[in-house]
A and B are shown apart, each in its own frame.
Chain A
Amino acid sequence: MSRCSDCGLDVDHCHGTLVAHEDRTVDCTDAACEVPDLLRHAFIVDCVAVLGGCCLVEEPADFAVAS
C-alpha cells in the first residue's frame, strides 16, 4: 500500500527524487518525469547526497576586457 499522500489528492506528482544542483537546476531520478518542478516531488535531495557534489567551479573564460 502506497504511503504517498498525493495519490489521493487529484494533483499531478512524481514518485522520483529530485536532485538539486548548485546552479539551481534539477534532475529527477525518474527518467519518465517530464516536469521536474519542486512542487511535484515529495523527495528533493542535494546533488552532494547523490553524487558527492557535481558542480565544479569553472575558471573564467578567456575573453577580452576593456580597461
Chain B
Amino acid sequence: MRTVWRGTISFGLVTIPVRLYVATESKNVPSHQIHVSDGGRVQYKRVCSIDGAEVPYEEIGRGYESATGEIVMLSDVDLAMLPAKTSRSIEVVSFLPIPAVDPIYLDRSYYVEPEPQGAKAYRLLRDALRKQGRVAVAKVTLRDREIVAVLRVHDDVLILATMLWPDEVREPRFPFLADNDEWSSPSQELAMAEALIDSLSDEQLDPGRYRDVHRETLSALIDAKATGSTVTQDARPGAASPDLLSALRASIDAAKQRRSTGNGGRRRTAPSASAAKKKQKKPAETPPGADAPKKRG
C-alpha cells in the first residue's frame, strides 16, 4: 500500500501525524475497451478542443462551470485563497454512537496509519472510540474539497470514511411512497415476513460467506475462450410467480431445511471475540442456479 495523503488528526489539543492509504480495491475482472474491427485497445487522450493537440499533464488547468454555464478557469493560486482551514488536518469536531451514522452517507474508506511519533496518541484515540462504541466526526480537505468524514475503529486500525454531503444523496421520489400512509401490511403476511427475517438472521456480517459467482464464471469463460474451449451454462430454473403468502411460507421452509441440514445454518447470538477467532469459516454461499460454467476442452 502506498501513502495517498499525509497530515494530522486534530483531536482537542492533541495532534497526531498520520498517513492515509486506500483501504478498498475493486476485484472486477480487468477489462479494456477494444476496437472490434482490429482488436486494438481504445485509449483516452486528452486533447484540446480548439487546436486538437494532445495536452500534456503540466499544461492542464481547471475550468469550473458557473451558474450561467460559463467556464471559469481557476489557478492553484486562486484555489489557495479559499478558506480551507482543514487543509492538512483531519479536524475532529464531534463524536457519535456508531448506529447514528446512516450508511448511505458513507463514501470511501482510507486506512489511517500514525507516524511513529504519533503512535501513542493514535492508540489512545482508537481505544477510547472502541470503548465508547463511537465514531469521531471530522472535517478535512481532500483534493480541494472540504468534506465531512468519520474516524472509526476497524480491527486495530482507524479508518477515515469520507461522507457525502446531504445534497449529494438523492431524494427517493417513487410513486409507491405516496400511497404508503394508506397501506398497511396485513398482519398474517407481516408475521410471515418477520418469521422469514428471523430464520435468516445473524448477529454479525460474515462477508466471507458469499462468493462473487459472476467474477468466477466470467474468469472461467475468459480462460475457456483463450484456450479455444467451448463453454456451456446450465439453464437457470424458471422462476414461478406465487402469491405472497405462499412465497413467504416456501421461503421459511427452505430456510429451515438449510438450517437442519447444516447448509447455511445461522447462529442466533454474537460469538465472543475469542470464539469468533476460533470459528472456522463457513463455506461461501452460492445462489441457486448459479453454477460455474463447465468447460469442454
Chain B nearest CB: distance from A6 CB in Å?
A: 9
User: Measuring CB to CB, which residues of chain B are less than 8 angstroms from any residue of chain A?
Assistant: 2-6, 20, 22, 25-26, 32, 41, 43-46, 57-58, 60, 62, 76, 108, 110, 142-143, 239-244, 246-247
**Majority DSSP secondary structure for residues of A touching B:** loop
Q: CB-CB < 8 A to A3: which residues of B?
A: 58, 76
Q: CB-CB < 8 A to B45: which residues of A?
A: 29
Q: CB-CB < 8 A to A37: which residues of B?
A: 4, 22, 108
Is A2 in contact with B239, judged by CB distance below 8 angstroms?
no
User: Measuring CB to CB, which residues of chain A are less than 8 angstroms from any residue of chain B?
Assistant: 1-5, 9-13, 15-17, 19, 27, 29, 31, 35-44, 50, 63-67
Q: Contacts A37-B108, A39-B110, A66-B247 given: A11-B6 contact, CB under 8 Å?
A: yes
Q: List 6 tightest A-B contacts by C-beta distance, closest first.
A: A12-B2, A29-B44, A64-B239, A66-B247, A64-B241, A15-B57
Q: CB-CB < 8 A to B240: which residues of A?
A: 64
Q: Contacts A35-B25, A66-B242 given: A4-B57 contact, CB under 8 Å?
A: yes
The closest CB in chain A to the CB of B244 belongs to A66
Name the one of A9, A43, A44 contacting B60, with C-beta atoms under 8 angstroms: A43
Name the one of A11, A31, A44, A63 contacting B239, with C-beta atoms under 8 angstroms: A63
Name the one of B3, B32, B142 contacting A12, with C-beta atoms under 8 angstroms: B3
User: What's the Cα separation between A53 and B164 when bound, in Å?
Assistant: 22
Q: CB-CB < 8 A to A38: which residues of B?
A: 108, 142-143
The closest CB in chain B to the CB of A24 belongs to B107
Is B6 in contact with A10, judged by CB distance below 8 angstroms?
yes
7 of the cross-chain contacts (CB-CB < 8 Å) are: A4-B57, A17-B60, A39-B108, A39-B110, A39-B143, A40-B4, A66-B242
Is B4 in contact with A31, judged by CB distance below 8 angstroms?
no
Q: Contacts A10-B3, A39-B4 given: A67-B244 contact, CB under 8 Å?
A: yes
The closest CB in chain A to the CB of B61 belongs to A3
Is B44 in contact with A11, judged by CB distance below 8 angstroms?
no
The closest CB in chain B to the CB of A9 belongs to B6
Q: Contacts A35-B22, A65-B241 given: A50-B76 contact, CB under 8 Å?
A: no
